[in-house]
Amino acid sequence: MQTPVNAFKRAIAEKRTQYGLWVSLMGPLNTEICAAAGFDWLLLDAEHTPNDPLNLLQQAQVIAAYPGVNAIARVAMGHGYAGQALIKQYLDLGIQTLLVPMVDTPEQARELVRCMRYPPDGIRGMAATRASGWGRNPGYAKDANREVCLLVQAETRAAIQNLDAIAAVEGVDGVFIGPADLSAAFGHVGDPWHPEMQDIIADAFQRIQKAGKAVGILTLDETLARKHVEMGATFIALGTDSNLMVKATSGLAAKFKGAAVQPPAAAKPQNY
């Protein structure tokens, strides 16, 4: 038994744009519907949902049946002992790529790298878990540090101020710009594509690229998504399962019952 190669990590290192979808509805059936659609990656969100490790395990098992689709899990938090515990659990589930929200300093980023890695490079604890084939893969502990992938979110004023130093941290594979939280931090609540935010995001892209790291972002607007790809986005989420369902159900109801209340800010991601 061999440690799986992290195809997503290889792709973003080679600057091959990876197109993904946010999966927030937690269930194995909706996850399988999304996995069969043909995206390069699916983000299993545990920050803004009640997802727990057991749900994540079930969804990761579903995604594993679809070659070419990579599971990425977002932890609820990455800092402190609670963050260490969550990161350890998620990696032990066999999910190789993690997205960590609210990373504001290079010190926080370095600590996250340590949590992702086995000694002597880190503090991840040893165990015979799903990630190692329940111990059937004797080389896992030696291979895992090479295959895990850490993505950190920049979504505060502090993160933008420290962006160069955060992106320079060895072991950080990519930086994800969180438009909604970032716009709130700069006084544009509910308007992540305000002109000032467009400038801040464009500058952030350039700074992350200068550090040689992958750039990620989420937008529910196709025109903006194509623009971000042109700007050099390496991994980009094109939508969320919940938003797709909101738009489709509201649209269908409106066709038969007249004008319905439109989903709030349908083209603008909230809480990401």
**One-letter amino acid of 258:** G
Determine the 3-state secondary structure of 214 from DSSP.
Answer: strand
Among 150, 148, 131, which Cα is nearest to 140's? 131
Q: Does a cis peptide bond (omega within 30 degrees of 0) precede residue 120? A: yes
In this structure, what token pair is assigned to residue 89?
């659990």
**One-letter amino acid of 53:** P
Rg (CA), the chain: 18
Q: Quick check: 80 and 101 in contact, CB under 8 A?
A: no
Q: Give the active site residue among 48, 79, 188, 228.
A: 48
- 48 counts as catalytic: yes
Q: Quick check: 181 and 155 in contact, CB under 8 A?
A: yes
CA 63, CA 4: separation in Å to the nearest integer? 14
Residues in CB range of 207: below 8 A, 6 or more apart: 163, 164, 167
Place of tokens 């369902």: 245
Query: Which alpha helices (H) appear in the chain, and where do they start and end?
Result: 7-13, 28-35, 53-64, 80-92, 106-116, 140-147, 157-161, 163-167, 179-185, 195-210, 222-231, 241-257
Torsion of CA 234, 238, 109, 123, to 10 degrees: -100
For the annotated catalytic residues, the residue numbers are 48
